[in-house]
Structure formats: structure tokens, C-alpha cells
Amino acid sequence: MAARSKVSKENAKVLAAIHTAKLGVFDGGHHKDWVIQEMVRHLCGWDEGQLAAWLKRLQWERGIAP
């Protein structure tokens, strides 16, 4: 029987952020903003509401997905 790979919750966050970083190749600051924001959301384990509150505190507009 093949051994199953166990990915910890923290490693899953990092892997999700790395996967999102690959989308940073698209032109446009609004796309790059989205990539950064999604990476932060993954790494912090935030939902959309928590991300929106953070962006509001920073006075940073939500980026646009590529």
C-alpha cells in the first residue's frame, strides 16, 4: 500500500500562496495587487471579510483576478 503524503495545515497555506504567486506574470498593477492580496489571505488563513477589513485599514483597493 502506498504511503499517503500528509500536508500540514501550515504547509497547505504556503503551497496555496505559492500556487497563487504563479499568477503574478500577468501585466497590470491591478492583477499584481490581487496576487499579493490573495497570497496574504492564504498565508494568514483569512476569509474574504477579513481580507476586506485589512484592505480597508490600509486604504488599498481590491485587486482584480487575472
Say how many domains are in the chain: 1
Does residue 66 sit within a domain?
A: no
Residue 64 covered by a domain: no
Q: What is the pTM of this model?
A: 0.79
Count how many Cα atoms sit within 13 Å of the Cα of residue 18 in the half-sphere of its side chain: 6
Q: Is residue 31 part of a domain?
A: yes
Q: Is residue 1 part of a domain?
A: no
41 torsion bin: left (phi>0), alpha (psi -120 to 50), beta (else): alpha
The verdict on residue 49 lying in a domain is yes
Residue 54 domain-assigned (yes or no)? yes
Q: Please report, in tens digits, the pLDDT of each residue of the chain (66 residues total).
A: 455 567 788 889 999 999 998 888 889 999 999 999 999 999 999 999 999 999 999 999 999 999
CB 50 within 8 A of CB 40: no
pLDDT digits (tens, 9 = 90+) for 47-58: 999 999 999 999
Say whether 36 sits in a helix, a strand or coil.
helix
- Cβ neighbours of residue 56 under 8 Å, at least 6 residues apart? none
Supply the range of the domain harboring residue 50: 9-58
